Structure 1
Amino acid sequence: MEATEIHPEVSFVVPLYNTGEGLRPLLDAFRALSLPETWELVLVDDGSTDGTAAAARRAVADFPAPVRVVELARNFGEHAAVLEGYRHASGDFVVNLDDDLQNPPGEAVKLVRHLRESDAEVVYSRYAEKKHPWARNVASWLANCCATFLLGKPQDLYLSSFRALRRDLVGRIVAYRGPYPYVDGLILGATNRIATLEVEHVERQEGRSGYTLRKLIRLALSLLFDFSVMPLRIASVLGVLLCVLGGLILTEVVLETLLVGQRQLGWGSLMGALAVFSGAQLLMLGIIGEYVGRAFLTVSGKPQSLVRTLTTHVKPPSS
């Protein structure tokens, strides 16, 4: 359907990836949503290979609210998909949630209410009990610890993908066009007006998480190298410590030669020291190379995401 100008009060952004049979329950949950404010739904298909984008376009033909279906040209990752969804959302309040319904749309309304009543620019969800698998929980814990150390995140703040933002904050973070986005890093760098709200977290009903070990590692690297120079500082400190260690060893050798005379040094200790120093040098080169490579990809214009199709469904007029 031909797109028209839409200015809802609330936008719900949902990234999709091989959602499959879970698409129908997701849309049914939004159909049953009770919200007095005007709202829209933005579905971002992140390069699914199971026909999720086409199924979404068919399923929203009779949807009771405006819907935008954004199909990306390939899989760019959840954070790139969320940012693309933010760019196509037009609400005064923007909530993003996953497609697995572990965060019911009714809980998203609570985030909007809390955001509207506070002076915060973003409200993060927190859970009394998370229903993710243990491996996902461990990965989330590690990511939050790294964000605290590298980005200065408050220790009592849990970085959840279920969050609500004001329009002004959305406008600030979507200006980022780097090829390796990290939404929480952008938010922490753009505001200090952050609130939290405890919401319900339920068991996943359909399919399994799209996060693989490779994607988790990629996310960790984005956190390390795109939003912090801490690895370079750590490499500098390591270099200083190794120089001091080398100086101490050299001093010990000179003193031993002067006081005791020359001795035949052990081959094992020599090889061990060589391995430590060589490994440290390669580690530092690797860290510097990672920064240089990412800077090159950013300067050369590696796209953050590419939209293949954009379909807008406008709510039919009431009879």
Structure 2
Amino acid sequence: MNTSPAPLFALSIVVPVYNGANSVPTLVDALARLEVEGGLEIVLVNDCSPDNSLAVCRDLCNANSVALSIVNLSRNYGEHNAVMAGLKHARGAHVITMDDDLQNPPEEVLRLWRHTRDGGFDVVYTYYAEKKHESWRNIGSRFTNWCADYLLDKPKGLYLSSFRCMNAFLIRAVGDHDGPFPYIDGLIMQITQNIGRLQVAHLPRAEGRSNYTLARLFRLFLSMFLNFSVIPLRVGTLVGVAMAGLGVLGFVVVLVEALISADRPQGWASLMAAVLLLAGVQLIMLGLVGEYLGRMFLAVNKRPQFVVRDVQRNEKAEAGAPQ
């Protein structure tokens, strides 16, 4: 029996905020002008931003007439953890997640919400005719999506965008996950295949640079790569079998040469190359197994997915009244 409280709003918009002091006011102002039948709620999640984003968000909360909540995290946990915090505090029948950099036009929000609601989808992902990112980011996105086709049982051709809309059923199911390394798209793929797509515009970044460094992108890739599949371990097993087969073949070749040739083959260079190759493969697989075990260790020891320092809601959000 479902004991979840009835949604207070028709739509909640969850925005993780990090170095967004200059862009968040423009975004909130545009979202506040949207006319949503049944009420609109905006949830800003401050991921311990090093700039004055928190003060800006608090000012917006006090001055805005739209229902607005601020979830202030105790430290920086990363985008997916921050979105999980927002989902657990959102009170809409549908929830849209979007970034704070204005690359997703707020004008597309209503179209995305109505497409999800009217189509009966659990989730709708957006995709773009052209992404306004740096070329290396686009290449990385294509590689990650290609890996996700095999690791996450993702429908082929589906682009995993952070600008997505989910219904209440999916939000509750995703919110049940409390692991310290959430990868929201992986959770979604484990729960449902009732997935839609919608093409939207993608704008150039208004100012500044992306908060995703190579190190952060790599950590995000590891969450997708390791959290929802044992395929990497199976690939390691196949690589080990292949290397063992090559080793046996090489042993047979060396043995035959020793028996039929008067001069014993020297083979020092080839031997060292084989040793270095095998040692490298072994260390990679040892690191992979260690990463799995480390994540299990942190999960068993209840490493927090996020810790909320405080939640601030304006009068409209506290009342939960339709607009």
Once residues 129 and 248 of structure 1 are traced to their aligned partners in structure 2, the CA distance between those partners, rounded to angstroms, is 49
Match of 1:260 in 2: 261
SS of the equivalent of 1:68 reads strand
**Counterpart residue type for residue 17 of structure 1:** Y
Match of 2:129 in 1: 128
Post-superposition offset of 1:292: 0.9
Once residues 265 and 134 of structure 2 are traced to their aligned partners in structure 1, the CA distance between those partners, rounded to angstroms, is 57
Q: Is 1:242 paired with 2:222?
A: no
SS of the equivalent of 1:210 reads coil
CA RMSD of aligned residues (A): 1.8
Over residues 72-106 of structure 1, what are the superposed CA-to-partner deviations in whole Å (9 max), with x where a residue is unaligned? Answer: 11111111111110000011100011111211222
Match of 1:13 in 2: 14
Match of 1:188 in 2: 189
What are the equivalent positions in structure 2 for 1:42-61 lying under 5 Å apart? Answer: 42-61=43-62
> Compared with structure 1, are the counterparts of its residues 37 and 203 closer, same or farther at alpha carbon in structure 2 (3 Å cutoff)?
farther
SS of the equivalent of 2:62 reads coil
Once residues 265 and 230 of structure 1 are traced to their aligned partners in structure 2, the CA distance between those partners, rounded to angstroms, is 39
Post-superposition offset of 1:311: 0.6
Match of 2:108 in 1: 107
What are the equivalent positions in structure 2 for 1:189-204 lying under 5 Å apart? Answer: 189-204=190-205
| Higher alpha-carbon deviation: 69-78 or 198-207 | 198-207
Match of 2:118 in 1: 117
Q: Given that residues 29 and 104 in structure 1 are in contact (C-alpha distance below 8 angstroms), is that contact kept between their aligned partners in structure 2? A: no
Once residues 170 and 261 of structure 1 are traced to their aligned partners in structure 2, the CA distance between those partners, rounded to angstroms, is 74
Post-superposition offset of 1:281: 1.4
SS of the equivalent of 1:11 reads strand
SS of the equivalent of 2:22 reads helix
Q: Given that residues 123 and 165 in structure 1 are in contact (C-alpha distance below 8 angstroms), is that contact kept between their aligned partners in structure 2? A: yes
Match of 1:217 in 2: 218
TM-score by length of 2: 0.92
Structure 1 spans left out of the alignment, 5+ residues = none
SS of the equivalent of 2:309 reads strand
Q: Given that residues 11 and 36 in structure 2 are in contact (C-alpha distance below 8 angstroms), is that contact kept between their aligned partners in structure 1? A: no
What are the equivalent positions in structure 2 for 1:1-319 lying under 5 Å apart? Answer: 7-260=8-261, 263-315=264-316
Over residues 201-242 of structure 1, what are the superposed CA-to-partner deviations in whole Å (9 max), with x where a residue is unaligned? Answer: 222223322111111011111111112211101110011011
Structure 2 spans left out of the alignment, 5+ residues = 1-5
Q: Given that residues 19 and 207 in structure 1 are in contact (C-alpha distance below 8 angstroms), is that contact kept between their aligned partners in structure 2? A: no
| Higher alpha-carbon deviation: 294-303 or 256-265 | 256-265
Post-superposition offset of 1:165: 0.2
Q: Given that residues 22 and 207 in structure 1 are in contact (C-alpha distance below 8 angstroms), is that contact kept between their aligned partners in structure 2? A: no
SS of the equivalent of 2:69 reads strand
**Counterpart residue type for residue 254 of structure 1:** L
| Higher alpha-carbon deviation: 63-72 or 203-212 | 203-212
| Higher alpha-carbon deviation: 249-258 or 272-281 | 249-258
**Counterpart residue type for residue 301 of structure 1:** K
SS of the equivalent of 2:146 reads helix
Once residues 216 and 168 of structure 2 are traced to their aligned partners in structure 1, the CA distance between those partners, rounded to angstroms, is 29
Once residues 137 and 285 of structure 2 are traced to their aligned partners in structure 1, the CA distance between those partners, rounded to angstroms, is 30
SS of the equivalent of 2:240 reads helix
Once residues 252 and 104 of structure 1 are traced to their aligned partners in structure 2, the CA distance between those partners, rounded to angstroms, is 64
| Higher alpha-carbon deviation: 191-200 or 256-265 | 256-265
Post-superposition offset of 1:114: 0.5
Q: In the comparison of the two structures, how many residue pairs are matched? A: 314
SS of the equivalent of 2:305 reads coil
Q: Given that residues 68 and 311 in structure 1 are in contact (C-alpha distance below 8 angstroms), is that contact kept between their aligned partners in structure 2? A: yes
SS of the equivalent of 1:251 reads helix
Over residues 45-65 of structure 1, what are the superposed CA-to-partner deviations in whole Å (9 max), with x where a residue is unaligned? Answer: 011111211221122213222
> Compared with structure 1, are the counterparts of its residues 38 and 244 closer, same or farther at alpha carbon in structure 2 (3 Å cutoff)?
same
TM-score by length of 1: 0.93
Report percent identity of matched pairs.
Answer: 44
Post-superposition offset of 1:136: 2.1
SS of the equivalent of 1:157 reads coil
